[in-house]
Chains A and B, each alone.
Chain A
C-alpha cells in the first residue's frame, strides 16, 4: 500500500512543483520543472512520474486527494480543490518551520507578504500589483539584458563594493536605464547590486504595509539568490529564516490541505 496520502501541485508562472506527503504530513517526494504551457499534460506527466518512482498503481492514485495552487491552478483538472498561493504557502511554511511570523514569497510573476499567526492562520497578506517589479521576473529580465547567468546574479551583486542607484524599479524602464549605464562604462556588479536594492525596496514596502511580525521567513524560487536574502536582512534588521525546501512551500501546503480534507472526511 502506498505511503502517499495526499498530493499538492503548485503551477507557478515560472516553475511547476509537485509534492507528496505521508499520513503525518511529511514531505516524502517532490519534483520541479519549468512550467509547460500545456499545464494539464504536464500535471499528467508529474503524476506518471510519481506513480513510477513510488510504485503507485492507477487505482491507488485515484484515491489520493490532490489540491492545486499557483497561477495555473484552475487548469489542473486532476485536483479536487484549488486554492490560492497565499493559503498554501502559509500552510507549508508553518508546517516546515513550526511557527508563525512574516513570510515573504518572491515568485516568478508575483510577490507576496503573508503574516502568519502562531497557530498557523493567515492574519494578513499583500501582493505586488500587476507590474513585474518586485518579482523574480524583474531579475530574470535584467539578467538576460546584462547577459549574466541568473544563478550568478546574486553572487555578482554581493561582490560589488559599491552600487549605483537605479532610479526606476519598473522592469521595462530599468532595462533602458541599464543599457544607458553600460553605455557610460558602469561595471556590471554595481548595476546588479542597485537592481537588487530596487527589488528589495519594493518588498520592504509590502512588508511595511502589513506590518512586520518577526521572525521574517522567505520562500519561492528567488531564495536561491544570496543577495536577495542578505539585502532583505539589511533592510529589515531581521534575520531571514528559510524552510528546508523553499521552492516547494506552495505545493507542500496544498498537499497538507488535501491531507486535512481526507482526515475531516473520515
Chain B
C-alpha cells in the first residue's frame, strides 16, 4: 500500500476534527507548542503558504519584498482559505511574520482571535521563564475564550503525548537510511505532523516503520538540505531523478523542530524548555558558528557530501547567514550550493540545473 494513502489531507483532518466538536487553530511558522492547543481540544494546523495560490490578495498589505510564505499565508486567509479555523496563531519567527501578526491585529481584524507568540532568542533561564509566561498567558486566554477549565494536569498529559510523537519523528529520522521510501514520500509523512493529531501521526509513523524498513540501503549522492521548507515538493522528485538523496535536513518545518524534551514538572516551563532546546536556527538568532557546527555535525553523522541551501526568496533571516555559512562550511571542506525559490512558482529549469550540477560535482 502506498504510504500516502494512509495520510489524510488537511481538509479531511479539519473536517473530521471539527465533526467531533473540536476547534482548529491556524498556526504560522514555526516554533510553538502543540500541547498548548490540544489541551483545549484545538487542533493546530500549520499554514506554510500554502504554495501555488493567488498572492494578489496579500499584496495590498505586504511589500513585494516580503517572502512568498508570508504573502501566500495572508492571501490564503483573505481568499477565504482560513474561514474554517477558529483561531489564528502567529509566532514571531522573523520580522515578516511579526509584521503579519500586526497586519492581522491592526488592519485585517479577522473574526477569529489572533495570538502572537514571541519566541526569545536566547537559551538562558531568563528566556525559559519568559517563554513559559508567554505560554501561560495564551493558556489563560484560551481558557477565557473557550470557557473550558483545563487543568495543568491535562496540559501535562498533552505535553507527554506530543513528546511521544516527537520521539517518533526522531525515530523516523534516525532510521531514515533503512526506510525504503523516496524523499518525496518521506517528507510527506514527516510533514503530516504539521496538521495531524499526535495519535494519528504516530499510527502512520508506526505503520511506516513496520512496513517500509526492509534494511535496503538507499542509493544516490547523500546531501543535506537547509532552508524553510521543501517546496515546491517536486524538488524532492527531481533530486531523486538526478541521483541525489537527502540524508538529513535543517528545514524549519522539519529538522529544526527536533526539540529536546523539557524536564520541569511545571507544564509551561517544560514546554518552554523543549522549544528553546531546538537545533540552532536563524529564527532563534543562533550564531553563524553554531549553525555551521550543527550542519557540519549532520554532514559527519550522516555521511553527506554537501549542503544545499534551499532558500525562499526574500527570506531575510536566512539570507543574512548564507554567505557566512557557505564560507564556514568551505573552510571545513564541505561544499555547498545556494538555491533560491519562490513557493508559488513552478520549479524553474535553472534551479534544477543548479542542483544537478552540484550533485555531479559531489
Contact = CB atoms under 8 A, between A and B. Distances in A.
B361 interface: yes
A226 B127 CA distance: 60
Interface string A118-132: 000110110101100
B361 A87 contact: yes
Contact of A87 (B323, B340, B350, B357): B357
Interface string A97-122: 00000000000001000000000011
B350 A130 contact: yes
B324 to A, nearest CB: 13
A204 interface: no
Interface string A175-194: 00000000000000000000
B361 A125 contact: yes
A127 B354 contact: yes
B353 A127 contact: yes
B353 A124 contact: no
B361 A71 contact: no
Contact of B357 (A125, A129, A209): A125
Given A124-B335, A125-B361, A129-B340, A84 B356 contact: yes
Nearest to B360: A87
Given A124-B335, A129-B340, A86 B361 contact: yes
Interface string A190-212: 00000000000000000001000
B348 interface: yes
A87 B360 CA distance: 7
A130 B341 CA distance: 10
Interface string B332-360: 00010100100000001110011011101
A85 interface: yes
Contacts of A127: 350, 353-354, 357
Nearest to A128: B350
Contacts of B323: 209
A110 B348 CA distance: 13
A127 B351 CA distance: 10
A173 to B, nearest CB: 15
Given A84-B353, A85-B353, A130 B361 contact: no
A256 to B, nearest CB: 14
A231 interface: no
A224 B348 CA distance: 29
Interface in B307-340: 323, 330, 335, 337, 340
A83 B340 contact: no
B357 A86 contact: yes
A25 to B, nearest CB: 19
Contact of A84 (B335, B340, B360): B360
A11 to B, nearest CB: 12
Contacts of A130: 348, 350
Contact of A71 (B349, B354, B356): B349
Given A84-B360, A122-B357, A122-B360, 20 more contacts: A71-B349, A83-B360, A84-B353, A84-B357, A85-B353, A85-B357, A86-B353, A86-B361, A87-B360, A87-B361, A110-B350, A121-B361, A122-B361, A124-B335, A125-B357, A125-B361, A127-B357, A129-B340, A129-B350, A130-B350
Interface of A: 71, 83-87, 110, 121-122, 124-125, 127, 129-130, 209
| Complex A-B, nearest 10 residue pairs according to Cβ-Cβ distance, in ascending order | A86-B357, A84-B357, A122-B361, A87-B360, A84-B356, A84-B353, A127-B354, A130-B348, A130-B350, A84-B360
Interface of B: 323, 330, 335, 337, 340, 348-350, 353-354, 356-358, 360-361
